[in-house]
Amino acid sequence: MGGRFRDDWMGITAAGFAAMAEGRLDDAAKQWQQAAREVGREGASDPLGAASYNNAGVAHLLASDAHRAQEKFCEAERLWGKSRAQIESAEIPIAGRSSVFHLRLAMEHHEAFAALRRRKHTLICAAACAITKFNARLAHSVADGTLGNAKADQSLIPTLSAAFGPSCVEIMILRDALADGDSSPTTATFAAYRAKGARLAEPSTHTYVDSDRICADLDCAAQLTALMHPGLLSAPSNAAGATDKGRR
């Protein structure tokens, strides 16, 4: 799958995050459903497919269709597993070095540099899959009527931090869910989505070679994998409140 399709898919998916930042949950769901349809038509790579199925699952959750959400999350988990297997077996090139010195150093220690990159992308894939599993647990809670007992999972934070850093958007959302007494999202969650949208608008500084495409797709897909704040599902009034908070 070429870079042009990935860029187009990224634009549609990012528009969903922009809608979430403003509390326009229905619009976010529509964008993510459209992105999933595009992936289905184009036969995209496993990482992009995994992110699309995850986000389509979130879209179904926003529409209170927990059973279809579970189906999407199950497929997303399967594709994250395939993506991880590809990363573990692929020839990982050393590309994008900034100087002759760094290039020579990388060539002299190719296996060590390749192992570092492989570990980095394995962590990214694990974090993205963990997001999907978190969303899937929410869908299960909705389906069996135990959503009132669903809570944000603090144990997810180290996995996210290892892949995306301690200040990533997903950790901001989890901490908001853990801190808020009435379980509804605060303005911090919508600020997190807004920060994600701003980051996605920044041009990439990494140049990928053709053999590095799995890494490029995984980087893109993981950044665009939506984590659901449990409070958006707990009551109809929360959705209405989300719209107000997102627009502030």
The token pair at 45 is 């790579």
pLDDT (tens digit per residue) in 50-103: 999 999 999 999 999 999 999 999 999 999 999 999 988 877 666 555 555 555
- Give 134's contacts (C-beta < 8 A, 6+ positions apart): 153, 156, 227, 228
Contact predicate 124/218, CB 8 Å: yes
Q: Please give the angle made by the CA atoms of 205, 207 and 208, to the nearest 5 degrees.
A: 140
- How many CB atoms are closer than 10 A to CB 144? 9
Q: How far apart are CA 171 and CA 156, in angstroms?
A: 8
Residue 17 pLDDT: 93
Answer yes or no: is pLDDT of 207 > 50: no
Alpha helices in 90-235 (DSSP H): 100-108, 110-143, 156-164, 169-179, 187-201, 213-223
- Give 215's pLDDT tier (boundaries 50, 70, 90): confident
**pTM (2 decimals)?**
0.85
pLDDT (tens digit per residue) in 106-137: 565 556 667 778 899 999 999 999 999 999 99
Location of structure tokens 């993205």: 128
